[in-house]
Structure 1
Amino acid sequence: MKNFLLIFISLLLISATTRKNGFKIEDPLIPIEDILSGGPPKDGIPSIDSPEFIGSKKAKSVFNPDARALVIEVGGVKKAYPIPILNWHEVVNDQISEFNIAVTYCPLCGSGIIFLSDYGGRTLQFGVSGLLYQSDVLLYDRQTESLWSQLELKAITGKYKGTPLIPLPTAHINLHKYLEENPDALTLSTKTGFVRDYSSSPYQGYERENKTYFPVNITSNEYHKKEWSLLVDKKLIIPLGSLQGKKGNKVFKVGKESFKVRWDKEKKELVCEAQAQRCISAYFFALKTFYPEAKIN
């Protein structure tokens, strides 16, 4: 009986620990069977760790008029990270003002979030693990190899398990329009140190398909899976198609707080004009999957 118990306990320990894409995964905060390989190995999608920037005039000549970007302003410093570059790299380790940041984008979910990268008294450098959870990128930090879920907004394995990511106000908008309104902004250069065709997308046509490449636990037919949507304070999902008119703005009440949202259907933009760190723009299926209890507008 004693030997049987020892064998049983050993099997439990083995089942709680496994390796995927070279990462030791032990007692994760999410079901281990839901951690899937996206295809590329660890760092097979290379992060940009020494970013270079160009001025707005040069950027408008490099990127197409319909190019989109993640934009951020901190301490008077404005930066734009074009999606045509992020499609190939997904992570940019950078600084803005006095802050160390990680610019993250998951092409499969359309989710772009910029986080602080200082945790536990140290600056973490993030990379792409090659693993996915609910079709969303699992990031990892190179200091401890903890895995971090972008849309869960926290580490799910390793030394930092349970540590929340701290997002900064980020907007996902048309690059040319942003640069016209902010001519002093800096734009990430295509001189990344890697040979990539930034004029083409490895996800060409994906946004139009009403399906996902990888399984997700929660599905909904209320909207096209790739409908651009905005998550507000983790409690409200606003699909672009639910709003009246081609463009406009509206104040939404979430709990006791008000959020002013601006939209432009032609440019597929949904932006929180204040408290943007509490808003996430992504495809409808992704927000519905990660925040199933959120009310849909």
Structure 2
Amino acid sequence: MLRVLMFWLCMAVPAMADPSFWKFEWPQTDFSITTVENWAQIISGGPGKDGIPALSDPQVIGVAEAQGIGDLEPVIAVEIEGAAPRAYPIRYLMWHEIVNDVVGGRPIAVTFCPLCNSAVTFDRRVGGDVLSFGVTGKLRFSDMVMYDRETQSWWQQAVGQGIVGAQTGVQLAVLPSWMESWAAFKARNPEGEVMAEPAWSRPYGSNPYRRYDTSQRPFLYSGAPPPHGIAPLARVVRVGERAWPLERLRQAERIEEGGVVLEWARGQASALDAGQISAGRDVGNVRVRAEGRDVAHDVMFAFAFDAFWPDGVWMLGE
């Protein structure tokens, strides 16, 4: 299975730069409404619509019941007031990319794009409606393009914005969440919850993108490299339209500037390094706070920040 997935990643070619090519697969999507200026930016990632199956209403178990998750494996931590803290293991999101869930009465979408290392949690409410999200199988700047099942509109995962269809220009609310090690989540939340292993036949715990985050170039990306000599697949901590190189934070361990406090601590395996996620090299845990409260952020690859925030600010500490 892994060889087949890597074949698709390496052999996928740009889809025709004409939305009529997609209308057979997406008859309910209104391609006349869009913010995409160049359709050639959107390409096939290999699998078709729902070829990567998003999850909805996952089974949840107590932290003490969970088995098989390595202590250093990354999870996405979601802590919503009035609800038990909940962890979403990357070992599952690697193969599903989106989880539609409800926590503390709030409908959320927990998302992870492996090709950008982007992990963002959104509120699924738009106006008076609750949306549910799936995976289109398309990529733009190597980032997952999501869709909502209610209007069949397309959404850019990294920015949480509608880019094609009736929801074009709509911005999803981003909720504070962060990637941390399973050990760190358990230690802080012994009475917390974790998403249980899905009932799909997938090699959970394995990484189909072995050594990806030390590659010279991203998959299926033709853009220019980031400025300032930063490697395309170097991690950065994005807060809004600002990005702190993770290496700078790792050396300092704590940075306080721009109204936020960023902290780094060792002890989290990269999900995109070794063949088994638990064996990935240590990239550390990051938390971002302002006035003692968690701040929405993303630890993503530098090329993706540069692609989606071309006028963003690089916090280099110079």
TM-score (norm 1): 0.86
Following superposition of structure 1 onto structure 2, how do residues 22-171 of structure 1 map, counting pairs within 5 Å?
22-23=25-26, 24=29, 25-30=31-36, 31-59=38-66, 61-77=67-83, 78-171=85-178
TM-score (norm 2): 0.81
Is residue 289 of structure 2 the alignment partner of residue 273 of structure 1? yes
Structure-2 residue corresponding to 1:209: 215
Flag structure 2 segments of 5+ consecutive residues without an equivalent.
1-16, 269-282
CA contact (8 A) 2:75 2:182 kept: yes
Cα separation, 2, equivalents of 1:115 and 1:238: 22
Is residue 179 of structure 2 the alignment partner of residue 172 of structure 1? yes
Larger Rg: 1
Could you tell me how far 1:231 is from its partner in structure 2? 0.9
Alignment match of 1:252 (pick from 257, 268, 272): 257
Q: CA distance change for structure 1 residues 19 and 118 in 2, over 3 Å: closer, same or farther? A: farther
SS at match of 2:304: helix
Cα separation, 2, equivalents of 1:244 and 1:175: 20
Cα separation, 1, equivalents of 2:19 and 2:188: 51
Could you tell me how far 1:216 is from its partner in structure 2? 4.1
Structure-2 residue corresponding to 1:264: 265
User: Aligned partner of 2:205: which letter?
Assistant: S
User: Aligned partner of 2:109: which letter?
Assistant: A
Q: Whose strand fraction is larger, Structure 1's or Structure 2's?
A: 1
Could you tell me how far 1:109 is from its partner in structure 2? 0.3
Structure-2 residue corresponding to 1:283: 301
SS at match of 2:20: strand
Cα separation, 2, equivalents of 1:152 and 1:22: 24
Cα separation, 2, equivalents of 1:277 and 1:142: 29
Quote the sequence identity (%). Answer: 28
User: Aligned partner of 1:132: which letter?
Assistant: L
Cα separation, 2, equivalents of 1:28 and 1:134: 16
CA contact (8 A) 2:238 2:297 kept: yes
Aligned length: 275
SS at match of 2:52: coil
